[in-house]
Amino acid sequence: MSIEIKSVGFMIDELVTTNLKCWFAQEDIMNSNLSEHDRLQAAERAQEMNNRRNQLIRAIDQKLGDGNVSPTMKTYHSYFEKK
């Protein structure tokens, strides 16, 4: 389902879940018991989740009429965005 047609409540629910996934991925990045490969995969997941989190924050702000306020403009290149 596209962000544009989701309700604010649905997006907030997804934002909470995305925040948790991002946090767990960041924990895995720092886990020295994991292999380098697993830590790299965790870094990729963390970037994906952070990108999704920023999209959700912007969409929620837009729906609430505060679309120009979000300090979540992407400042990094995401290899996961479709071109």
Is this prediction's pTM over 0.85? no
Q: Which residues have a Cβ under 8 Å from the Cβ of 80 and sit 6 or more positions away?
A: 44, 47, 48, 51
Please state the rounded mean pLDDT for residues 62-79: 63
The residues spanned by each domain of the chain are 3-63
* pLDDT one-digit tens code per residue, 21-38: 999 999 999 999 999 999
Alpha-carbon dihedral of residues 6, 55, 17, 45, nearest 10 degrees? 140
- Whether 15 has a pLDDT exceeding 90, the answer reads yes
Instruction: Sort 71 into a burial class: Cβ within 10 Å, 0-12 / 13-18 / 19+.
Output: exposed
Least confident of 17-21, 25-29, 77-81: 77-81
Q: Are 61 and 69 in contact (CB under 8 A)?
A: yes
In this prediction, residue 72 carries a pLDDT of 54
Dig out the tokens for 68 from the structure: 């120009």
Amino acid at 74: K
Task: Report the length, in residues, of the chain.
Answer: 83
